[in-house]
Structure 1
Amino acid sequence: MTRRRPGQRSISYKVIVNTIYNTFGRFWGIIVGIFLTPYIISRVGVDRFGVWAVVGVVTGYFGLLDMGVGASFVKYISEFYARKEYNKISHIVNTGFTIYFILAIVSFLLVFLLKNPILAFLNMPMYLRHEAGVVLVMGIALFGASNAMSPFLAIQGGLQRMDITNNIGIGLSIVNIAGTIFFLERGFGIIGLMMNNVIVFMILAAVNVTVVRFIMPELRFRLFYIDRMIFRRILNFGYNMQIAKVSGMVASHTDKILITCFLSIGLVTFYQLGSSVIYYAASLAGILTSALMPAFSEIEARGERDRLVEAYMRSMKYISFVIAPIFIYLAISAEQVIFIWLGYGYERSVVIIQILAGAFLINTIAQVPLSVSMAIDKPRLVAVGSLITIMSNIILSALFIRIFGFTGAAWGTLVAVNAGTIYFMARLNAEMRIPAKNVIRIVMPFFLSCAVAATIIFALNSFIGKNLFHSGLGRVESMALFFVKGAIFLLCYLVSVFWMKPFNADELEVIKRKIPFMAPIIARIINRP
Structure 2
Amino acid sequence: MINNLLKNMSFSLASKAWRIILPIFITPYIIKHLGLDAYGIMSILTVFAGYFALSDLGLTGALEKYVAEFKAKGQLKKINDVVQVGMFYYFIISIIGGLLLYTGFYILLNEFVTIPPELNHQTKISYLIVSITFSLSIFVAFFSSIIRGYQRFDLIAYRTMIVYTISVVLTVLVLHFGYGLIAVVSITLFTSFINVTLFYYLVKKYCRGISIQPRWNKTTFEYLFHFSKWKFLAGFCALISKNSARIITGILLNVRMVSYVSVIQLLAQSVSRRLGAEIVKVLYPFMTEIVASRSNKIQKQVYLRSAKWLFSLLSIPTVFLVAYAEVILQIWLGNDFSNNGTFLLKSLAMLYLFSSVLWLSTNVFEAAGNSFFPNICATTIGFSQLFFYFIFIPNFGINGIVFSHLLTLITIGVYEQHKTLMLVGSNWNEYLKKSFLLPLIASTINYNLLIIIESKINISLPTLITLAIISFIIHIIIYYFIGVFEKEEKKIILKFFNKF
TM surpasses 0.5? yes
SS at match of 2:426: coil
Contact 1:335 1:350 in 2 (8 A): yes
Equivalences for 1:501-512 in 2 at 5 Å? 506-507=488-489
Q: Look up the equivalent residue of 2:150 and give its one-letter code.
A: L
Q: Kindly provide the CA deviation profile for residues 28-54 of structure 1, in whole angstroms up to 9, marking residues without a partner as x.
A: 222222223222222111111111111
How big is the shift at 1:145?
1.9
Contact 1:457 1:489 in 2 (8 A): no
Task: Choose from 34, 43, 67 the match for 1:77.
Answer: 67
How big is the shift at 1:276?
1.1
Report the equivalent of 1:239. Answer: 229
1:175 and 2:200 are equivalent in the alignment: no
RMSD over equivalenced CA pairs, Å: 3.1
Q: Look up the equivalent residue of 1:243 and give its one-letter code.
A: L
Q: Kindly provide the CA deviation profile for residues 33-81 of structure 1, in whole angstroms up to 9, marking residues without a partner as x.
A: 2223222222111111111111111001112222212222223334455
Contact 1:358 1:414 in 2 (8 A): no
Structure 2: how far apart are the matches of 1:508 and 1:164? 27
Contact 1:153 1:208 in 2 (8 A): yes
Report the equivalent of 2:241. Answer: 251
Report the equivalent of 2:443. Answer: 450
Are residues 108 and 485 of structure 1, via their aligned partners in 2, closer, same or farther at CA, if it must alter by over 3 Å?
Answer: closer
Task: Choose from 338, 360, 368 the match for 1:376.
Answer: 368
Tell me whether 254-263 or 285-294 shows the greater mean CA deviation. Answer: 285-294
Q: Kindly provide the CA deviation profile for residues 161-216 of structure 1, in whole angstroms up to 9, marking residues without a partner as x.
A: 33333222222223213321332233331110111111222222233333434335
SS at match of 2:337: coil
Equivalences for 1:66-465 in 2 at 5 Å? 66-81=56-71, 88-119=78-109, 120-216=111-207, 218-222=209-213, 225-282=215-272, 283-289=274-280, 291-301=282-292, 303=294, 305-347=296-338, 348-442=340-434, 443-462=436-455, 464=456
Report the equivalent of 1:60. Answer: 50
How big is the shift at 1:228?
1.3
Contact 1:111 1:137 in 2 (8 A): no
Q: Kindly provide the CA deviation profile for residues 118-165 of structure 1, in whole angstroms up to 9, marking residues without a partner as x.
A: 112133334333322222222122112211454334333333333333
Q: Kindly provide the CA deviation profile for residues 331-354 of structure 1, in whole angstroms up to 9, marking residues without a partner as x.
A: 121123324444554213332221
Structure 1: how far apart are the matches of 2:161 and 2:490? 35
How big is the shift at 1:482?
4.5
Structure 2: how far apart are the matches of 1:79 and 1:439? 28
How big is the shift at 1:484?
4.3
Higher gyration radius (CA): 1
| More relative contact order, 1 or 2 (CA 8 Å, 6+ apart) | 2
Q: Could you list the runs of 5+ residues in structure 2 that have no partner in the other structure?
A: none
Q: Kindly provide the CA deviation profile for residues 476-522 of structure 1, in whole angstroms up to 9, marking residues without a partner as x.
A: 3443345445655665x548x71xx5655555665677679xxxxxx
Contact 1:275 1:356 in 2 (8 A): yes
Tell me whether 441-450 or 285-294 shows the greater mean CA deviation. Answer: 285-294
Are residues 410 and 47 of structure 1, via their aligned partners in 2, closer, same or farther at CA, if it must alter by over 3 Å?
Answer: farther
Report the count of equivalent residues. 494
Contact 1:359 1:415 in 2 (8 A): no
Are residues 114 and 206 of structure 1, via their aligned partners in 2, closer, same or farther at CA, if it must alter by over 3 Å?
Answer: closer
Contact 2:148 2:285 in 1 (8 A): no
Contact 1:91 1:226 in 2 (8 A): no
Tell me whether 212-221 or 160-169 shows the greater mean CA deviation. Answer: 212-221
Q: Look up the equivalent residue of 1:260 and give its one-letter code.
A: G
Equivalences for 1:486-525 in 2 at 5 Å? 487=473, 493-494=478-479, 498=482, 506-507=488-489
Q: Look up the equivalent residue of 1:446 and give its one-letter code.
A: P
Q: Look up the equivalent residue of 1:322 and give its one-letter code.
A: L
1:28 and 2:14 are equivalent in the alignment: no
How big is the shift at 1:329?
2.5
SS at match of 1:346: helix
Structure 2: how far apart are the matches of 1:298 and 1:73? 14
Structure 2: how far apart are the matches of 1:385 and 1:242? 13
Q: Look up the equivalent residue of 2:52 and give its one-letter code.
A: F
Are residues 319 and 407 of structure 1, via their aligned partners in 2, closer, same or farther at CA, if it must alter by over 3 Å?
Answer: same
Q: Look up the equivalent residue of 2:429 and give its one-letter code.
A: K
How big is the shift at 1:396?
1.3
SS at match of 2:369: coil
Are residues 76 and 298 of structure 1, via their aligned partners in 2, closer, same or farther at CA, if it must alter by over 3 Å?
Answer: closer
Q: Could you list the runs of 5+ residues in structure 1 that have no partner in the other structure?
A: 1-10, 517-529
Q: Look up the equivalent residue of 1:50 and give its one-letter code.
A: G
Tell me whether 116-125 or 291-300 shows the greater mean CA deviation. Answer: 291-300
Structure 2: how far apart are the matches of 1:95 and 1:376? 23
Task: Name the % identity.
Answer: 20
Q: Look up the equivalent residue of 2:443 and give its one-letter code.
A: C
Contact 1:393 1:417 in 2 (8 A): no
Are residues 381 and 90 of structure 1, via their aligned partners in 2, closer, same or farther at CA, if it must alter by over 3 Å?
Answer: closer
Structure 1: how far apart are the matches of 2:72 and 2:301? 29
Contact 1:384 1:424 in 2 (8 A): no
Structure 1: how far apart are the matches of 2:467 and 2:200? 48
Q: Look up the equivalent residue of 2:318 and give its one-letter code.
A: F
Are residues 14 and 429 of structure 1, via their aligned partners in 2, closer, same or farther at CA, if it must alter by over 3 Å?
Answer: closer
Structure 2: how far apart are the matches of 1:295 and 1:199? 33
Are residues 219 and 460 of structure 1, via their aligned partners in 2, closer, same or farther at CA, if it must alter by over 3 Å?
Answer: closer
Structure 1: how far apart are the matches of 2:471 and 2:209? 56
1:480 and 2:466 are equivalent in the alignment: yes
